[in-house]
Amino acid sequence: MDIIYIVGILSGILYIIFDFIYDSISYYVILKPIPIWTLSVYCTSRRNYMLAVGLIFGALGDIFLIYEGEFYFQMGLFLFLIGHILYFIYFFNRVNFNKQGFFISLVMFLFALGVSYVIFQNLPTNLLLPVGMYIFVITMMGF
């Protein structure tokens, strides 16, 4: 398992360094998802399969967001959405609800409403539903 840690950390460092030096899509596609994939391998070794698959969807979403255009944006958003739904399911089964958690969730909900209001002001009509769903799922995962 040590090699997984080394690969994940090294690829993350290389990604940060190359981001300052080069402006090339090729290293983004190769280096950016590797730390997440190594984390997914770690989660699989711990039998956290739902979390591992959610991470894979997130890494794929990162790859789609590298490219420009509405199709790539929507696909990236959709892949992140699936990943966050899987995160929500994973964490929901492991949480205990209490008053403090309820208060924090209420603050998060109000913050999400405020952010949504600001974002929706300048968002094209065809993106209102996908972005709204994404904000909703992230907020639910935070709960």
Q: What is the mean pLDDT of the chain?
A: 84
CA–CA dist 122, 128 (Å, integer): 10
Taking 90 as the threshold, does the pLDDT of residue 54 lie above it? Answer: yes
The torsion angles phi and psi of 113, rounded to 5 degrees, stand at -60, -45
Q: Please give the pLDDT value at position 99.
A: 80
The candidate with the shortest Cα–Cα distance to 81, out of 61, 109, 51, 108, is 61
Distances from the Cα of 100 to the Cα of 103, 106, 107, 139, 143, angstroms: 5, 10, 11, 17, 11
* Number of residues that make up the chain: 143
In the predicted structure, residue 1 carries a pLDDT above the cut 70:
no
> What are the contacts of 57-61 at 24+ separation with CB within 8 A?
57/82, 57/83, 57/86, 58/83, 58/84, 59/32, 59/33, 60/33
CA gap 33, 37 in Å, rounded: 6
Q: How many CB atoms lie within 10 A of CB 8?
A: 19
**Nearest residue to 58 via CA among 95, 26, 88:** 88
Q: What is the pLDDT of residue 51?
A: 93
- Name the percent of the chain lying above pLDDT 90: 20
Which amino acid belongs to residue 55?
Answer: L
**What is the pLDDT confidence band of residue 132, given thresholds at 50, 70 and 90?**
confident
How much is the average pLDDT of 103-128? 88
Mean pLDDT of the 17-27 span:
72
**Mean pLDDT across 66-71:** 86
Residue 138 has pLDDT above 90, yes or no: no
| Residue 121 main-chain phi, psi, to 5 deg | -60, -35
